[in-house]
Amino acid sequence: MRTIILTICIFLNLPFLSILAQDQTVGLFNYSEESYEGYTLIAGFSNEVFLIDNCGLKVHKWSLNSQPGMVTYLLEDGRLLRAGRTNSAFNGGGSGGLVQIYNWDSELIWSYRFSNEFEHQHHDLEILPNGNILVLAWDRVLYEEAVQLGRDPELLTEDGIWLEKVVEIKPIGTDEINTVWTWSLRDHVVQDRFPELVTFGNISDNFRKLDLNYSTQQTVDIIHCNSIDYNPHLDQILLSSRSMSEIWIIDHSTTTSEAALSEGGNAGHGGDFLYRWGNPQTYQRGSEMDKVSFGQHDANWIVDGLEGAGNIILYNNGTSRIGPDYSEVIEIALPLDSDGNYEIIGEQAFGPIDFEWVYGDGDEAFFFSSRMSGVQRLGNGNTLVCSADRGQIFELTADNDIVWEYISPVSSGGIISQGNTAAGNTLFRAYRYGIDYPAFENKTLISTTPIEFDPLDYECFSVDTEDTSLLKDVVFNHAVEDFLEIKFSSPSTNTISILNAQGQLLFKTNIQSSEFLKIDMHTYPQGYYYIQFKNDRFIQADKIIKH
C-alpha cells in the first residue's frame, strides 16, 4: 500500500512574508499549483541526503557513511545508488571511486571500490533495466601509450592522459561485481599528425572517431565526461564531454570485442560514435561560429510518456562563449531516419541546427553556473533545472514561467540557517520523483519541517490524492496549550499519531471516528508538531503548534 501525503503550500500573511523574504537566503522561494507534485532529492556535498516535498519540507533523510562523489539517484525499489569518494591517484574534478547502494534506512547494503592505478569512477552512474550499473570511468593512458596512439608529445605531461571508458557491472553480494561489458575511448581515436601510426587519418572522413589532438590543453583530463545516460529502446549510451563541448552516442548492443572495433552491433559501427553534436570543430566540419554547446552537463534522453519523448535535453553551462557567459537549458530532436540511423549528409556536420526548446538567452543570467548542473523533464511537461553554483533548483513550464524555486541549505560545512549566506551548498544535480514513483510504495511520507535552521514562517497543508473528505469531518485545535481536542463527525476507524518536527513518533492510538478524543500535551515542549490520520484507504496530516 502506498501512503503518500501531498502538500499544498500556503504562505500566511503575505505582506509579512514579503518583508521576511528580503533576508531569505535558502529554502523555498516560489511555489505555484502548476508545479509537478512529487518529492525532490537534495544530495549536496555532505553525508546527508534529503527528500523534500513541494513546500520545501523534509519528508525523509538518509545519513550515509562515506563522503559523496557526485551523483545520487533514488531507485524504483527505494534504494539509493550513489557515487562515493575515495582517495586515489586520480585527483580530478568529479572524482568518485566508490559505487554504493544504500537502503531506505541508510544502511549500506553493497559497495564496490571502482578505483585502481589505471581506472577510476567519476561523475556519474546509470542503472540499467536489468539491475546492472553503467560506470563512467577515467582510463589512464601512460605517456608512451599516448604517444603511440598519436597524442602530440608537445601536448603531453609525463603523467600521460586520461581517456574515458564505460564499464557495465553486475553487483554481487555485498562488495563484489561481475564485469559484463566494456567500451574504451582509446579504441576510437584518430590523428592527422603522425602518418607512421595506425591511428593516422583524415579527421573529417573519420568523423565517428575522436581527434586525439583537438584538445591542446597540456593536462591529463582532456575529455572530462560528466554524464552518462541509457536508452533501453535503442540500446544506446549517451555521453557528455565538457572539454570537447560535445555529446556522443555509442552502441551498447555490441559485444565487448565489437565495442573495440568499428563494425558490429545493431548499427554496424562497433564502438565508434553513432552520433555527436554540439561542436563540429572537433571533427573538422565546422568553425567556432558553428559551436552551440559550451561545457555542457547532464545530457539525457527524455523518456517515454513525457513531453518531447526521445529528444535530448541538457544544461548548457555557457562558459567560453563568444561574448558574455550565460547558461541555457536546451532540447534537441535527434536526426533519426526511418531505419533508426543518425543522418549525416556528405561532408556536413550532424544536425540539428535548431533547438526544439531553449530557456536562457543571457537575460536569465540569474541561473548561470560555470560547472556541474542538471536538467530533468517532468511528468506534467515542466522541466526541473539545477544550477549548481548557487545550489539553486527551479521548475519551468513550457512557456518558460518559473513555478517552483528552491535554494539548498545543505552545505559541506553543515545545514545553513535562514538569513545566513548560502555558501558551500553546491549541488551536482537534483531530481524530482512523482508521487506515484514505485520507490514510495509501502513508505509513509510525512512532511515535517524545512531542512534549514530558523526557517521562515509559512505553513503547508497535506491533502490526500484520492479522498480529501476526512479532515473536512474533523475538528481539532491547531494551537495547543495543554490538551489537543479532536471531534469526528463521520464514522471510520483511524490510527492517530503525533510526531515532532523531526518526524519522531510521540503518541499513537486507534479510535472510532465517531468519538471525541482528548490528548494530553502539557509536557510537550513548545514548537511545531504533526498530527497524522490514517486508515486502510488513505493517510493525511496537518500541523499543530504547542504554546
Residue 238 has pLDDT above 50, yes or no: yes
Taking the C-alpha atoms of 47, 102, 81 and 52 in order, what is their torsion angle to the nearest 10 degrees?
A: -60
Mean pLDDT of the 308-318 span: 97
Q: Classify 157 as helix, strand or coil.
A: strand
Q: How far from each other are the two terminal CA atoms of the chain, in whole angstroms? A: 36
Distance (Å, whole) CA 4 – CA 65: 28
Q: Which stretches does DSSP call E strand in 302-359?
A: 312-316, 328-332, 357-359
- Residue 206: DSSP 8-state: T
Q: Give the position of cell 571511486.
A: 97
Mean pLDDT of the 139-165 span: 98
Q: Which residues pair with residue 433 across a beta bridge?
A: 39
Which is more confident, 263 or 471?
A: 263
Looking at residue 464, its pLDDT comes to 37
Residue 471 has pLDDT above 60, yes or no: no
Q: Residue 8: how many CA atoms within 13 Å on its side-chain side?
A: 8
Highest mean pLDDT among 3-17, 109-123, 320-334: 109-123
C-alpha cell at 263: 563494425
Other CB atoms within 10 Å distance of the CB of residue 67: 15
Residue 108 has pLDDT above 70, yes or no: yes
What's the per-residue H, E or C state across 287-299?
A: CHHHCCCCCCEEE
Other CB atoms within 10 Å distance of the CB of residue 191: 22
* Residue 64 and residue 106 in contact, taking contact as beta carbons nearer than 8 Å: yes
Residue 508 has pLDDT above 90, yes or no: no
Distance (Å, whole) CA 11 – CA 9: 6
DSSP 506-539: EEEEEEETTSEEEEE-TTSPSEEEEEEEE-SS-E
* Residue 293 and residue 277 in contact, taking contact as beta carbons nearer than 8 Å: yes
Looking at residue 9, its pLDDT comes to 44
Residue 13 has pLDDT above 70, yes or no: no
Looking at residue 511, its pLDDT comes to 79
- For the entire predicted model, the pTM comes to 0.85
* Residue 42 and residue 427 in contact, taking contact as beta carbons nearer than 8 Å: yes
Looking at residue 190, its pLDDT comes to 98
C-alpha cell at 46: 555532505
Residue 24 has pLDDT above 80, yes or no: yes
C-alpha cell at 318: 555557457
Amino acid letter for position 464: D
Contacts of 23 (CB under 8 A, 6+ apart): 418, 419
Looking at residue 461, its pLDDT comes to 47
Among positive and negative, which fits the CA dihedral 306, 61, 96, 407? Answer: positive
**DSSP β-ladder status, 189-190 and 210-211:** parallel
* Residue 385 and residue 36 in contact, taking contact as beta carbons nearer than 8 Å: no
Looking at residue 543, its pLDDT comes to 75
Looking at residue 2, its pLDDT comes to 44
Lowest-pLDDT choice from 86-100, 290-304, 464-478: 464-478
Percentage of the residues of the chain whose pLDDT score is greater than 90: 75
C-alpha cell at 398: 513550457
Residue 65 has pLDDT above 80, yes or no: yes
Residue 398 has pLDDT above 60, yes or no: yes
Looking at residue 104, its pLDDT comes to 97
Looking at residue 538, its pLDDT comes to 54
Altogether, the residues listed in the chain come to a count of 547
Confidence of residue 462 (pLDDT cuts 50, 70, 90): very low
Q: Using alpha carbons only, give the angle 230, 48, 67 rounded to the nearest 5 degrees.
A: 75
Residue 142 has pLDDT above 50, yes or no: yes
Amino acid letter for position 259: A
Looking at residue 12, its pLDDT comes to 34
What is the phi/psi pair of residue 212, to 5°? -65, -15
Distance (Å, whole) CA 529 – CA 199: 68
Percentage of the residues of the chain whose pLDDT score is greater than 70: 90
**C-alpha 112 chain-centroid distance:** 21
Looking at residue 362, its pLDDT comes to 73
Q: Which residues pair with residue 460 across a beta bridge?
A: 9
Confidence of residue 463 (pLDDT cuts 50, 70, 90): very low
What is the phi/psi pair of residue 512, to 5°? -75, 130
Distance (Å, whole) CA 371 – CA 319: 9
Cis check: omega of the bond before 324, within 30 degrees of 0: no
Mean pLDDT of the 388-411 span: 96
Q: Classify 234 as helix, strand or coil.
A: coil
Mean pLDDT of the 397-413 span: 95
Q: What is the pLDDT of residues 247-300, one digit of tens each?
A: 999 999 999 999 999 999 999 999 999 999 999 999 999 999 999 999 999 999
Confidence of residue 47 (pLDDT cuts 50, 70, 90): very high
Looking at residue 29, its pLDDT comes to 94
Confidence of residue 15 (pLDDT cuts 50, 70, 90): very low
Which domains, and CATH codes, for the chain? 6-440 (2.120.10.30), 465-546 (2.60.40.3080)
What is the C-alpha R_g of the chain? 26
